[in-house]
């Protein structure tokens, strides 16, 4: 059975690649190398989640690198902090290192769980992986794992694997938190708008009810006045007849 080094960015994203590669007859070994994941507690959570996946699937796990320094990582971007453009600089060191380890340790091929995520720049990942393979003389196995996105989500929830809230680096964390704040603000604004609308509708119903009650009272008053006039006319007629 051919062996393959599977670079893994996190636990949930590794599930379907493991399943699919095994279905094809590969024997995967997970590879943890992610200097782009910040802060330290997040890096540890994702590493531990991958350890959990390795234990559940009974696969080997190679770990490389310590808890990264976010500031050093950002400096290494050379000022390229724009989303999308900076991502290539995130893929490159991981694909190079994976290709290097695959060649050094005699793996038949390597690939990455990054190819599972529909949020990543798929083409850029492939390009960096192919460049790494050419540099170190290893074989890159391209697979598009994205069609199994929802299967992976379902499985990760069933297994109780930690699911992260942002892509990885400190910049994506800040962007995710900002987006979350904006979403909360939109939700609060929508809630306030709904409350104001319901209050206005309730006030309109109240006024309508009061207007209807006033109209009914007016009709009742007119009815009583008519009865009173009619009674007065009858009394006058009876008095005249008596004379």
Per-residue pLDDT reduced to its tens digit, 99-127: 999 999 999 999 999 999 999 999 999 99
Residue 184 has pLDDT above 80, yes or no: no
Domain limits of the chain?
A: 3-168, 170-243
Report the SS3 class of residue 61: strand
As a whole number of angstroms, the distance between CA 85 and CA 203 comes to 53
Q: Where are the alpha helices (DSSP H) in 7-121?
A: 11-23, 40-57, 70-76, 85-104
- For the CA atoms of 27, 31, 37, 42, the dihedral, rounded to the nearest 10 degrees, stands at 80
Confidence of residue 237 (pLDDT cuts 50, 70, 90): low
Confidence of residue 239 (pLDDT cuts 50, 70, 90): low
Phi, psi of 5 (to 5 degrees): -90, 115
Confidence of residue 21 (pLDDT cuts 50, 70, 90): very high
Q: What's the CATH superfamily of 3-168?
A: HUPs (3.40.50.620)
- Cα of first residue to Cα of last residue in the chain, in angstroms, is 129
In the β-sheet with 3-7, what is the strand arrangement from edge to edge? 60-63, 27-32, 3-7, 109-112
Contact 23, 56 (CB under 8 A): no
Cα Dmax for the chain: 134
**Between the ranges 69-83, 100-114, 163-177, 187-201, where is the mean pLDDT highest?**
100-114
The predicted pLDDT at position 178 comes to 75
Q: Which residue carries 């999308």 as its tokens?
A: 84
| Interstrand relation of 109-112 and 60-63 (parallel, antiparallel or unpaired) | unpaired
- Each residue's pLDDT tens digit, 220-234: 888 887 877 777 775
- Each residue's pLDDT tens digit, 64-98: 999 888 888 878 778 877 877 788 889 999 999 99
């Amino acid at each position: 059975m051919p062996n393959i080094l599977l670079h893994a960015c996190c636990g949930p994203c590794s599930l379907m690649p493991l399943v699919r590669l095994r279905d094809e007859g590969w024997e995967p070994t997970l590879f943890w190398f992610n200097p782009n994941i910040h802060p330290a507690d997040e890096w540890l959570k994702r590493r531990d989640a991958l350890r959990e996946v390795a234990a559940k699937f009974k696969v080997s796990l190679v770990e490389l690198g310590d808890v990264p320094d976010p500031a050093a990582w950002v400096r290494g971007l050379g000022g390229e902090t724009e989303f999308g453009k900076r991502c290539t600089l995130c893929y490159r060191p991981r694909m190079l290192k994976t290709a290097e380890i695959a060649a050094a340790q005699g793996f038949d091929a390597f690939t990455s769980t990054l190819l599972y995520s529909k949020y990543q720049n798929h083409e850029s990942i492939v390009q960096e992986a192919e460049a790494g393979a050419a540099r170190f003389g290893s074989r890159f196995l391209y697979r598009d794992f994205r069609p199994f996105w929802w299967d992976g989500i379902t499985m990760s929830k069933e297994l109780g694997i930690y699911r992260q809230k942002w892509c990885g680096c400190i910049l994506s964390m800040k962007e995710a938190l900002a987006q979350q704040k904006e979403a909360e603000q939109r939700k609060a604004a929508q809630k306030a708008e709904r409350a104001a609308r319901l209050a206005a509708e309730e006030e309109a119903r109240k006024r309508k009810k009061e207007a209807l009650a006033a109209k009914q009272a007016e009709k009742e008053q007119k009815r009583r006045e008519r009865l009173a006039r009619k009674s007065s006319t009858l009394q006058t007629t009876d008095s005249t007849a008596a004379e």
